[in-house]
Amino acid sequence: MDSSNRRYVEATALIVGWAGLFTALYLTAGGPLSWDELLYMETSWNLKEVPWILNRYAHIYFQSIFMHMVGDPIEGAKVYWSFLISSSILGTYLCARRMAVHYPILTGLIAVALFFHLRLPFRYSGTPYADFCLMFFGIWSAVFSLMGSDREGRMRRFLFLFLGLFLFLSIKSKE
């Protein structure tokens, strides 16, 4: 198999794996555990101004997209959590694969296995904590940084634009 076909096979496997992981996480997700998550969910659902939590507006507006897309705050929070965790796992794989000198696919799979060994994201399954949003933005900032480090021209500017955007959103998710 030549290298271009290998890329397509790996990209297809990543997309199918991400979709399967997203679905499995959604089907097993719980829900909010405390009043502050319910407050953030209510603020996201109604988009009302709450001055003392506006420093976390990126988390609230990002969560709002999923809630309004699904049409239900509880189900939207589960979809939001599933998206954050599955996308963070994908970003972890891509970072590890990009940094590996030898055996990049194996290194990426080991990094994913180590991610699954973390307790916090899975203990609070379905809970839309701002910490998970920060984790998502941080991991994808690293992905954009690693991918843009050896590119040239427009693609490099585009990747570093996303790096800056995701770093800004990570700051505004948890100040």
- Classify residue 35 as exposed, middle or buried by CB count within 10 Å of its CB (0-12, 13-18, 19+): exposed
Task: DSSP letter for 122, please.
Answer: H
Q: 119 or 175: whose pLDDT is higher? A: 119
Q: What is the pLDDT of residue 69?
A: 95
Whether 46 and 61 have beta carbons less than 8 Å apart is answered as no
Q: What is the pLDDT of residue 175?
A: 64
Q: What is the pLDDT of residues 96-143, one digit of tens each?
A: 999 998 999 999 999 999 999 988 888 888 888 888 999 999 999 999
Number of domains in the chain: 1
Measured CA to CA, the distance from residue 103 to residue 101 in angstroms comes to: 7
Q: What is the pLDDT of residue 54?
A: 67
Nearest one of 130, 132, 112, 110 to 121, comparing CA atoms: 132
Measured CA to CA, the distance from residue 172 to residue 152 in angstroms comes to: 29
Q: What is the pLDDT of residue 155?
A: 85
Per-position DSSP letters for 40-67, written without gaps between them: HHHHHHHT---GGGGGGHHHHHHHHHHH
Structural domain boundaries enclosing 9: 3-173
Whether 96 and 86 have beta carbons less than 8 Å apart is answered as no
Tell me the one-letter amino acid at 167: L
Q: What is the pLDDT of residue 122?
A: 82
Q: In this structure, what token pair is assigned to residue 85?
A: 């965790």
Contacts of 172 (CB under 8 A, 6+ apart): 55, 56, 57, 58, 59
Q: What is the pLDDT of residues 15-74, one digit of tens each?
A: 999 999 999 999 998 888 788 888 888 888 988 777 777 677 888 889 999 999 999 999
Q: What is the pLDDT of residue 91?
A: 97
Cα dihedral 71, 12, 123, 81, rounded to 10, equals -20
Residue 1, pLDDT > 70, answer no
**87-99 average pLDDT score:** 95
